[in-house]
């Protein structure tokens, strides 16, 4: 029967949502994570693929992107991509030269990632940029001191990167989720962060809800894959399933 299905060329292709980003994306499949929430909401409609790489900035991400997504054959099933960088790029140059990327280069890198995606037929209407979240300096300073480091980021600087991210989205015609601004609307944003930098369960569910409102519009029309089990003809399952 498998040969039969293959012969008919009926390969069942699950559409894909790709999550690109740093540790905040890499950790998003943890319990109560925002990626796990999306995967659960989209089960049987889409594969949610986590390509988050902890500690990475846009300079490194731009280099690996063509290795993650190649020519159109691979891209035609991609229904949405999130690009969520800036928490590392915005690290202070003097205190964290390894991860820091200058503001102008950060913007240029985001643009070139969007350009690359468009070159493999992932159009701008399927791309969502996410700004870095705000930084809670006292909590992050504690985390730095515990590793023998000085405070190596500051919220005002992160805000400049968030602004640049919003600007790139405007210029390139992609969607954007300005997490930096949204999280600070509620005066005290510390509960959204686990250590001043990474998201807590509350921050994760905040991001998930914000993202879902944007993805739901894009993906609501996607069918549920494979028939509901009660609708399968049990006397002749091939008729329903192949």
Distance separating alpha carbons of residues 234 and 232, to the nearest angstrom: 6
Q: What residues act catalytically?
A: 23, 195, 198
Query: In this structure, what is the dihedral angle of CA atoms 157, 132, 205, 139, given to the nearest 10 degrees?
Result: -40
Torsion of CA 118, 121, 125, 127, to 10 degrees: -60
β-strand pairing of 78-84 with 47-52? unpaired
DSSP 68-137: HS-SHHHHTTEEEEEEE--TTTTS-TTT-TTT---HHHHHHHHHHHHHHHHHTT--GGGEEEEPPPP--H
């Amino acid at each position: 029967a498998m040969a039969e299905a293959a012969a008919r060329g009926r390969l069942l292709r699950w559409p894909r949502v790709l999550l690109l980003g740093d540790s905040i994306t890499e950790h998003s499949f943890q319990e109560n994570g925002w990626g796990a929430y999306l995967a659960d909401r989209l089960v049987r409609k889409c594969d949610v693929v986590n390509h988050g790489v902890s500690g990475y900035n846009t300079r490194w991400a731009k280099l690996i992107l063509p290795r993650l997504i190649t020519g159109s054959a691979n891209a035609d099933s991609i229904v949405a991509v999130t690009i969520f960088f800036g928490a590392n790029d915005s690290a202070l140059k003097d205190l964290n030269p390894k991860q820091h990327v200058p503001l102008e280069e950060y913007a240029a890198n985001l643009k070139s990632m969007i350009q690359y995606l468009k070159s493999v037929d992932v159009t701008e209407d399927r791309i969502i940029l996410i700004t870095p979240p705000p930084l809670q300096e006292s909590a992050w300073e504690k985390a730095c001191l515990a590793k023998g480091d000085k405070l190596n980021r500051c919220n005002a600087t992160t805000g400049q990167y968030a602004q640049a991210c919003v600007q790139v989205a405007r210029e390139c015609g992609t969607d954007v989720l300005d997490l930096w601004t949204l999280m600070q609307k509620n005066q005290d944003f510390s509960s959204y962060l686990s250590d001043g930098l990474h998201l807590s369960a509350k921050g994760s569910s905040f991001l998930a809800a914000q993202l879902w409102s944007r993805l739901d519009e894009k993906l609501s029309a996607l069918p549920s894959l494979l028939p509901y089990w009660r609708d399968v003809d049990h006397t002749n399952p091939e008729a329903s399933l192949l």
